[in-house]
Amino acid sequence: MRFCVIGAGAMGGVYGLSLIEAGYKVNFLDVNRDHVNAVKKNGFRLSGIGKKKVYKINISDNENDFKNSADVVLFHAHTTGTKSAALSAASVLKPDGYAITLQNGIGNIESLSEVLGAKRVVGGISYHSAALEDLGHVNHTNGGSTFIGELDGSISPRLKSLENAFQNALLSPQITNDILGVIWGKFIVNCGINPLCAVTGLRSGEISQNTAADEMQTKILEEIMAVVKAKGIKAPKKDMITYVKDLSSSRYNKPSMLQHIEAGRLTEIDSLNGALVSEAKALNISVPFNQALVNMVKAREFAVQQLFKQPKVDYEQLERLALQGK
């Protein structure tokens, strides 16, 4: 079984390098040319959870380098680029190959299915966590389960084969006959933790230590669960609010959204709380706390990106121009 990882960032690095360690052939495709060049020059470093190794790998920013080579594509692309990355998946897959999305958020399966066809898509979600410490360096910060499932709930031979590969790679796979329910479960977790950390700078475990952040988290989760109930989705836990808050208070990693903010990158807010707001509008449900959170994350994105701009923004000049216009 030959793999191609699309999105060789933190999580893509953990999954791809773990499979290489288990003896599988893996290619990596990523749009960040600086990251690709760093890995080509120095290798791909994996640290954390008992890991410390540098791998020499096949990586490119051009899908034509891996055309028709993969039996399985592991889809870890940033959700803002899912549709364009899906075209890359179509290029690198063999005619009988398939893709599994391990991205956060909702709507990724639908975007992949539009390009590849639903029969060539497997659903997945990961409870591992990782950080891209530097170009070419991934830190596996927390272990967890990897849920995989066919969209129709069947237990197919390809699903069993993928389970075996992930088991060999120590990625703790679990097959489910309700992958959409599991994806929504992780969606609830991410929506209740990631954006709060992004706008406050708090780590997950620090939310419960601050009264304002803790109360905000509760309100956000109450709105999310109202939408989940209205859609008739069966959440994986009976009391998801308590589950998310307990999970949040026990983890001290930096969620990916906070990492993206600190790096001056766009976040996945549109596929998380932004998607929740869209679902709520369709159901005529008011979700003011989630709407406010989406707006704050987008404002924070803009503010941090200003800091990364070259040349630097001249705020004194902007103020003079603004005053002249009055």
The CATH number that applies at residue 78 is 3.40.50.720
When pLDDT is averaged across residues 8-15 and rounded to a whole number, the result is 95
CA distance 256 to 267: 8
Mean pLDDT of 154-171: 97
> Is 318 domain-assigned?
no
Among residues 155, 176, 197, the one where a domain terminates is 176
Do 60 and 89 belong together in one domain? yes
pLDDT, position 38? 97
Please tell me the predicted confidence (pLDDT) of residue 326: 58
Give yes or no: residues 11 and 67 share one domain.
yes
Same domain, 151 and 300: no
Average pLDDT over every residue of 42-58: 94
The answer to the question of residue 316 being in a domain is no
| Average confidence (pLDDT) over 181-189 | 93
Beta strand 129-134 pairing with 121-126: unpaired
Mean of pLDDT values over 158-168: 98
224 shares a domain with 271: yes
Domain that holds residue 283: 181-308
Contact criterion met (CB below 8 Å) for 84 and 110: no
Q: How large a percentage of the chain has pLDDT more than 70?
A: 99
Kindly state whether residue 323 falls inside one of the protein's structural domains: no
Q: Are residues 152 and 23 in the same domain?
A: yes
**Of 235-239, 251-255, 308-312, where does mean pLDDT reach its minimum?**
308-312
> Cα dihedral angle (16, 21, 22, 23), rounded to 10 degrees?
90
Q: Judge if 267 and 159 occupy the same domain.
A: no
Distance from C-alpha of 97 to C-alpha of 83, rounded to nearest angstrom: 18
Asked if pLDDT for residue 64 goes beyond 90, the answer is: yes
Kindly report the pTM of this predicted structure.
Answer: 0.83
The answer to whether the bond into 288 is cis (omega within 30° of 0) is no
d(CA 183, CA 199): 24
Q: Which residue has the tokens 């096949």?
A: 58
Establish if 326 belongs to a structural domain. no
Distance CA 221, CA 306 (A): 31
DSSP-assigned beta bridge partners for residue 142 = 129
**pLDDT at res. 322:** 86
Residues in the chain, how many? 326
Q: Assign 313 a pLDDT band (cuts: 50, 70, 90).
A: confident
Contacts of 229 (CB under 8 A, 6+ apart): none
Q: Is residue 325 part of a domain?
A: no
186 and 168 co-located in one domain: no
Q: How many domains does the chain have?
A: 2
